[in-house]
Structure 1
Amino acid sequence: MLALRVLGTLQPIGEYDRFQEPDRTILDPRDSTTTVLTSGTPGLKRICLLGRSRGCLFVGDKAALSNVLINSDGFGVVVLGPNVQLSDIVIQMSGRTALVITSGTTMALGNFLVQENGSHIVIGDDCMFSNNVAMRTSDSHGIFDRATRRRINPARPIIVHNHVWVGRHAMMNKGTVIESDAVVGQGALVSGRLKGSAIHAGHPAKPLRENIWWDRTSFDSMDHPLVVTPALSREQVWDHRNTVSRIQALGAEPLAGCSLLEALSRILSTDMQPAVLQQHHAAVAAELGPDAAAMLLEAAALRAAAHHRSDEAMLSAAE
């Protein structure tokens, strides 16, 4: 179980759960053959699937998706983890590509453009995106050096680490990496690596202030008792710790011989150690391909990093 700050409260991620097919009446598949599988009880409303795709959409427990259009031409893998909230979103994918949002992240009126084989976008836990944020892994058209005749603008992935706040109308270009706890101002043009625990804004985005922390609440002080809510009893903390121990034990079990769905279930629902995933990388890559499998390893690493911080928050809330 992983505790996240979602809308100012600590909400538990569901325990390990197998994927299953959702009610097909809530999907509008058009000409797409994308496989859709859910874990637990997500809320899905008006999900439209377009394109000549044989990709996969995996949705975690208690995720809420509304007015989401996925236009995929090729083999696109979309993994939306537990408690993710997306509304009025367009996801455009071409080639063997992937989008992973691990858990607790919220976004409205956004656009993801994931183009060219091997491209991927990974977003960590408890990120908050305002309206009209756009991300793209490719320029969509080639630029070539006349002397070498080789392309000079290849696609590059986008990585957004845990607990990042992005203001409205921000644009993230290919190759963007945003470290944990950062804030990106509205209208920012983001390229390259942005330092964590800092405010960035402008064209291009530059650091304006460092050593900061942000929260979904609007209290006057980080020391306000409701910044981490609700206050947890020691009994609840011990229950949490015991649950974490059980899930970590499951996450340490070998992946060899298990199905792709079981592997993805573990990635979304447990603190799967990246080292364990790496040992059985071939098992996942055989069905998803090496690029998507590598992207899932990155997502698992982001998830593991969030567990330690969440445990500390729960313990401090009980003291």
Structure 2
Amino acid sequence: MVVKLTKLENYRDAESNIIESPKGFDQKISVTSRGANNKLIVDKNARIKHLAVVFDCDNGALTIGPNKKHGFSMSVRVGQDSKVTIGRDLTTTSVCHVSAVEGATVEFGDDIMLASQNQVRSDDGHPIFDVRTGQRVNPAKNITIGSHVWLGAGASVLGGSRIGTGSVIGLGSIVKGAIPNNCVAVGTPARVVRRDIAWERPHLSFVSPPYKPDASSVEVSEEFWALTEDHD
């Protein structure tokens, strides 16, 4: 049975598909479940501009945290035994596309800023096999995006990636692997080009002052200022 909903409110059906949403959302919402035992949990202080969720199979979960900022727009696919977690105060400029299938987990930390046309995908969408062995060569893999990460316009994060807290991923870059904290990474695949950085949210143009030559010109998020550390 396929269930299609256009509201986020407390819900349970005979297939044990559950929505827990103390606050109702009824604009630009689409939730589709093609399986059973799927769960969507929405914090009462969430802020959602647009959300399209598809639970393709069984035992999927999507958790959405609170938001004091302008909120987010997201299209999320959740497959068998898979989980997507959205932390506190995540924002987007346009719709971010997220996919987690085959038991994979996609985790967003807190205070993440996503630009336009971003994708975060644990999987390639279709299987690829080795013709000699028949074995799969592109299994789905977990993704972890740390808190206070900024994905530039057109940046994508692929399965198996880990991005450390406070880092920036450049425009059009593709992350495939581990990126440490407090660095700038760019390219395809993304590579670290600058270490020991911190970024702040105030826009260069429409947030005063019109010139921001040093950290004294903005309010600093001290908890995200750190030197880059490399981990195995």
Structure 2 length as normaliser, TM-score?
A: 0.78
Displacement of 1:33 in angstroms is: 6.9
The correspondence for 1:154, drawn from 136, 139, 148, is 139
Q: What letter is aligned with 1:172? A: V
Between the aligned partners of 1:183 and 1:113, the Cα distance in structure 2 is: 21
When Rg is computed on C-alpha atoms for both structures, the one with the higher figure is: 1
Provide, for residues 142-163 of structure 1, a one-character-per-residue CA deviation record: whole Å limited to 9, x for no partner.
Answer: 3333454322321101100111
Between the aligned partners of 1:67 and 1:213, the Cα distance in structure 2 is: 29
The correspondence for 2:197, drawn from 192, 202, 212, is 212
1:188 aligns with 2:188: no
The correspondence for 1:309, drawn from 219, 223, 228, is 223
Q: What letter is aligned with 2:7? A: I
Task: After TM superposition, list the pairs within 5 Å mapping 1:1-319 onto structure 2.
Answer: 26-27=7-8, 34-39=17-22, 41=23, 45-54=27-36, 55-74=38-57, 75-83=59-67, 85-87=71-73, 89-107=74-92, 108-116=94-102, 118-217=103-202, 218=204, 219-224=212-217, 226-228=218-220, 309=223
CA contact (8 A) 1:33 1:52 kept: no
CA contact (8 A) 2:75 2:96 kept: yes
Q: What letter is aligned with 2:95? A: L
Q: What letter is aligned with 1:115? A: V
Displacement of 1:186 in angstroms is: 1.1
Q: What letter is aligned with 2:100? A: V
73 and 309 in structure 1: CA distance in 2 versus 1, 3 angstrom threshold: same
Per the alignment, residue 209 of structure 2 pairs with none
Provide, for residues 23-74 of structure 1, a one-character-per-residue CA deviation record: whole Å limited to 9, x for no partner.
Answer: x983499x997422125x5766321111313311111132111221101112
RMSD value, Cα: 2.8
Displacement of 1:120 in angstroms is: 1.1
Q: Which runs of 5+ in 1 are unaligned?
A: 1-23, 230-307, 313-319
Displacement of 1:173 in angstroms is: 1.1
Higher relative contact order (CA 8 A, sep 6+): 1
CA contact (8 A) 1:44 1:65 kept: no
**Aligned-partner SS, 2:117:** coil
CA contact (8 A) 1:157 1:174 kept: yes
* Count of aligned positions: 205
Q: Which runs of 5+ in 2 are unaligned?
A: 205-211, 226-232
Provide, for residues 94-146 of structure 1, a one-character-per-residue CA deviation record: whole Å limited to 9, x for no partner.
Answer: 21111001211112311011111x21100101110001100111123333334
213 and 43 in structure 1: CA distance in 2 versus 1, 3 angstrom threshold: farther
Q: What letter is aligned with 2:219? A: V
Between the aligned partners of 2:6 and 2:29, the Cα distance in structure 1 is: 10
Calculate percent identity across the aligned residue pairs: 26
* Larger helix fraction of residues: 1
CA contact (8 A) 2:7 2:25 kept: no
Per the alignment, residue 239 of structure 1 pairs with none
